[in-house]
Chains A and B, each alone.
Chain A
Amino acid sequence: MALELQYLHKSFGHIKAVSNLTLTLPTGEVLGLLGRNGAGKTTTIKMILGLLVPDQGEIRWQGNKLDRNRVSIGYLPEERGLYQKSKVSDQLRYFAELEGMDRQSANKAIDHWLEKLQIPEHKDKKASDLSKGNQQKIQLIATLIHDPELLILDEPFSGLDPVNANMLSAIIEEQVKKKKTVILSSHRMEQIETFCENVCLMKDGQAVIQGRLSEIKQNYGYRNLTLFNHKGMEEKLKEWKVSYEKKMNDLLVKVKDDSEAFQLFNRLHQANLPLRYFKMLEPTLNEIFLEKVR
């Protein structure tokens, strides 16, 4: 296990920001830290970074107590900011040097990343002269420049246009392929669902659901069955006392498992109702989120 959070507690005054949070994340995997605003995601991240000291509990990395000096972490804060009056290359080199890189390799990495994010022309500009999107790219470079083992991205997609969001997705994917351990925090499920094998859904400082995404979905109480709304379908469902939801031309039925679905399929067949499609899907992360966190 690469990263382990054990029984973390943190309160501010009488507000419990995080309580009894326990998490494990294997090396080279991605964790989606989900939750509404104020659920305790950023507090958790700040404790991992050592910006906040937990009231109780421990954070371990590769079996030892996490020591900021021995693990290189790339952190993209939720609130973005750069030195407005400094040149892009100057501050990137500054950030890189503070992470222990020498001047030469820092310069090389800066050129590499600027090229990769298609903004080499901004190298000698001041941060205040860049557009918001480009500043975000510089910020991303600052996060990745020292090739960190542990990546923590707090709301990485907020404020990005679709093109830049795509570019960021590609970069995250690349980091995942490089077997980096990644923590993504977001309140937008659909954006990070594709990356995360592990999720932790937080509410009021506590983990409501956590574990492997595939298992969570499989074991989550129901599946979504989608049927085309043919004439007579609704009456039959009412007759059978099957609850459903109407959505455009479809009828949505929640079923517990496969056998319940097959049962319904057989009844529809026996009732001679035509079928255009019979689609069964796992609930999306978004649905789980909305139900659990509401």
Chain B
Amino acid sequence: MKKFSTVFKFHLKENLTSKAFKISTAIIFVAILAFLGYSNWANSSDIGNKDKISLINQTGTGIDVKAINKTLEETKLNEAGESEEKNLRKKVEQGDLDGVLLVKEQKGVPALTYIYKNFPNNEAVPVVSQALQQAYISNTIAKNKIGAEIAASLLATVQVKDEVLKDTSNTFGIVYVFVFFMYIFIIAFGQMIATAVAAEKSSRVMEIMIPKVKPIMMMYAKIAAILTGAIVQIAFIVLAGGIAYLAGWFDANQLSIFGAAIDLSNLSPGVIAAFIAYFVLGYLLYAMLYAAVGSMVSRTEDLGSSQFPIIILIMGAFFIGMRSLFDPSTTLVVVSSYIPFFSPIVTFSRIVAGEAGAMEISITIAILLVSLWIINRIAGRIYVHGVMHYGGKVKLKDMIQVAKNR
């Protein structure tokens, strides 16, 4: 155990003091602050910059522009005379004006024409059309001398009430973040493990190390050291987010990613525990695969092609995870959630979506643990033999052969 901690400490120090680590942490830290700061600044500077839309009313139905302007947040409506229509159209074409609303009468009923270039304004048109509708209806009621009660019942609208039994849309954002995070994390740090092992081997330090420490212990100490380094890096990401939050750069209730809201209320302690459990198991599983591959190559240059099968597995997990965002109960997703290489990402997203029950969680964790144990045996064997084996490129056949041998 003392040797384990010695190896662990050495690699942790090597990792944390390396230039690559310092630079990448600094870049991530600054990039997060810069991104949040910029989006905050861009949001606040947008406020004085309202869309300008002109309204030309050619009908007798009155529209209260002032009252409408009060309800509009991002648009400024102003009234223009009939004669200006041509002039205003030109302005819209040149981009000086964001749009023109034309109210004309067609067969006694007011009609609204919206003239704009490229991007429509989604705020003003419904408000104006509603105001127009209401004005027209009350005009008609007044004209035909209809009683107040009848008028009220005529104006009553059919109510639509949403009742969603299971709404995946509010978990969408948060699953997206976690799935993406796991994917990036495993691929980046798995590669780091493979590179570290291969470098240790190709520099022949391994020859000094193996007589001193059991190779398998070295493998675990290294995996743990790189995981710790990764957690330090995550801590910096959280720190950057925390600073931005304290500076008031974002509102925790209005987080979103690519338009999908990140609803933090879905982050129950259970979900966080599940994330940690699946994340650690998944990381260990892939870390061992990466260590085994790293131990089989003699030069770091050969790593790229040798780790391809692992990358395929992670990509598979990622895409199935993405699929489960939209539809967490398809057969593909359900079956994949029991496959150990996929379940860290897929089962987790099913848990957040509320699809996976206690049964599924315990079975997948059990499967993960068993496969971890098996892969631990196989990867350990490959590692122990691999680090002593120098030669050309490794074929899958060699790895199987090595794993079979005692």
Bound together, the chains give a CA A231 to CA B200 distance in angstroms of 65
Docked-complex contact A79 and B211, CB < 8 angstroms = no
| C-alpha spacing A25/B14, complex, angstroms | 40
Query: Would A77 and B212 count as touching, CB distance under 8 A?
Result: no
Say whether A95 contacts B210, CB under 8 Å. Answer: no
Q: Report if A159 contacts B (CB, 8 A).
A: no
Decide: A83 near B200, CB < 8 A? Known: A97-B6, A98-B7.
yes
B204 adjacent to chain A (CB < 8 Å):
yes
Q: Which residue of A lies closest to B211 (CB)?
A: A49
B14 and A85 contacting across the interface, CB-CB below 8 Å: yes
**Complex CA distance for A143 and B240, rounded to whole angstroms:** 45
Give Cα A83 to B203, complex, Å: 7
Q: Are A90 and B13 in contact (CB under 8 A)?
A: yes
Check A77/B207 contact, CB under 8 A, given A83-B200, A98-B212, A99-B212.
yes
Q: How many Å lie between the Cα of A90 and that of B14 in the bound state?
A: 9
Chain A contact residues: over half helix, strand or loop, or mixed? loop
Q: Is the CB of B207 within 8 A of A98?
A: no
When chains A and B are docked, how far (Å) is the Cα of A79 from the Cα of B213?
Answer: 18
B10 in the interface, Cβ–Cβ < 8 Å? yes
B3 at the interface (CB under 8 A from A): yes
Distance of A245 Cα from B211 Cα, bound (Å): 49
A86 and B200 alpha carbons, distance in the complex (Å): 12
CB pair B204–A77 under 8 Å, yes or no, is: yes
Residues of A within 8 A of B14 (CB): 83, 85-86, 90
The residue that B10 contacts in the complex, of A50, A82, A90, A99, with Cβ under 8 A, is A90
CB-CB nearest in chain B for A97: B6
Interface size class of chain A, counting residues whose CB lies under 8 Å from the partner chain: 20 to 34
Question: With a CB–CB cut-off of 8 A, which chain A residues contact B212?
Answer: 95, 98-99
Q: Which residue of B lies closest to A80 (CB)?
A: B204
Write the B1-44 contact mask toward A (1 if CB under 8 angstroms, else 0). 00100110010011000100000000000000000000000000
Chain A proximity mask over B192-218: 1 for CB below 8 Å, otherwise 0: 000000011001111111111100000
Q: Please tell me if the beta carbons of B200 and A75 are within 8 angstroms of each other in the complex.
A: no
Number of A-B contacts (CB under 8 A): 54
Contact partners of B211 in chain A: CB under 8 A: 49-51, 68, 73, 75
A19 to chain B, nearest CB (A): 20
Considering the complex, give the chain A residue whose CB is closest to the CB of B205: A81
Residue of B nearest to A100 (CB): B2
Task: Enumerate chain A residues within 8 angstroms of B199, measured Cβ to Cβ.
Answer: 84
Q: Please indicate the chain B residues that have their CB under 8 angstroms from the CB of A49 in the complex.
A: 210-211
Contact indicator A98/B213 (Cβ below 8 Å): yes
Docked-complex contact A82 and B205, CB < 8 angstroms: yes
A94 within 8 A of B: yes
Return B388 CB to nearest CB of chain A, in Å.
6
Residues of B within 8 A of A97 (CB): 6
B13 close to A95 (CB less than 8 A): no
Least CB distance from A12 to B in Å reads 10
A85-129 interface with B by 8 A CB criterion: 85-86, 90-91, 94-95, 97-99
* Residues of B close to A86: CB separation below 8 A: 10, 14
In the complex, A91→B7 CA distance in Å? Answer: 11
* A142 within 8 A of partner (CB): yes
Query: In the complex, which residue of chain B has the Cβ closest to the Cβ of A154?
Result: B207
The minimal Cβ–Cβ distance linking B22 to chain A, given in whole angstroms, is 12
**Closest CB of chain A to B197's CB: distance in Å?**
13
Chain A residues positioned under 8 Å from B210 (CB to CB): 49, 51
The answer to whether B13 and A81 touch across the interface, beta carbons within 8 angstroms, is no
A73 to B204, CA, bound (A): 18
Establish whether residues A84 and B207, one from each chain, have CB atoms under 8 Å apart when the complex forms.
Answer: no
How far is the CB of A88 from the nearest CB of chain B, in Å?
Answer: 13
Closest Cβ of chain B: how far from A77's Cβ, in Å?
4
Identify which of B3, B6, B206 gathers the most chain A CB atoms within 10 Å of its CB: B6
* CA gap between A68 and B210 in the complex, in Å: 11
Contact A95 B203 (CB under 8 A): no
Per the bound structure, the CA–CA distance linking A52 and B215 in Å amounts to 13
B3, B200, B208: the one contacting A77 at CB < 8 Å is B208
A81 touches B203 (CB 8 A): yes
B residues less than 8 Å from A84 (CB atoms): 199, 203
**A81 with B6: CB separation less than 8 A:** no
For A81, give its contact among B10, B208, B213 (CB under 8 Å). Answer: B208
A289 to chain B, nearest CB (A): 26
Q: Does the CB pair A95–B208 fall under 8 Å? A: yes
**Separation of A81 and B209 alpha carbons in the complex (Å):** 10
Q: Chain B residues near A77: list those with CB within 8 A.
A: 204, 207-208
Give the chain A neighbours of B209 by CB distance below 8 A: 98
Residues of A near B13 (CB, < 8 A) are 90
Question: How far is B204's CA from A149's CA once the two chains are assembled, in angstroms?
Answer: 24
* Distance of A276 Cα from B207 Cα, bound (Å): 54
Known A-B contacts A51-B388, A86-B14, A98-B212; A79 and B6 likewise in contact (beta carbons under 8 Å): no
How would residues 365 to 388 of chain B score, 1 for a CB under 8 Å from any chain A CB and 0 otherwise? 000000000000000000000001
Contact A94 B203, beta carbon cutoff 8 Å:
no
In the complex, which residues of chain A have a beta carbon less than 8 angstroms from the beta carbon of B203?
A: 81-84
Interface string of A184-208 (1 = CB under 8 A from B): 0000000000000000000000000
Top-5 shortest CB links A-B: A81-B204, A77-B207, A79-B204, A81-B203, A98-B212
Task: Kindly list 7 other residue pairs between chains A and B, CB separation below 8 angstroms, not including A94-B10, A97-B6.
Answer: A49-B211, A79-B204, A80-B204, A81-B203, A84-B199, A95-B212, A98-B213
> Chain A: residues with CB nearer than 8 A to chain B?
49-52, 68, 73, 75, 77, 79-86, 90-91, 94-95, 97-99, 139, 142
22 sampled A-B residue pairs with Cβ under 8 A: A49-B211, A51-B388, A52-B388, A68-B211, A73-B211, A81-B205, A81-B208, A83-B14, A83-B200, A83-B203, A85-B14, A90-B10, A91-B10, A95-B208, A95-B212, A98-B3, A98-B6, A98-B7, A98-B209, A98-B212, A98-B213, A142-B208
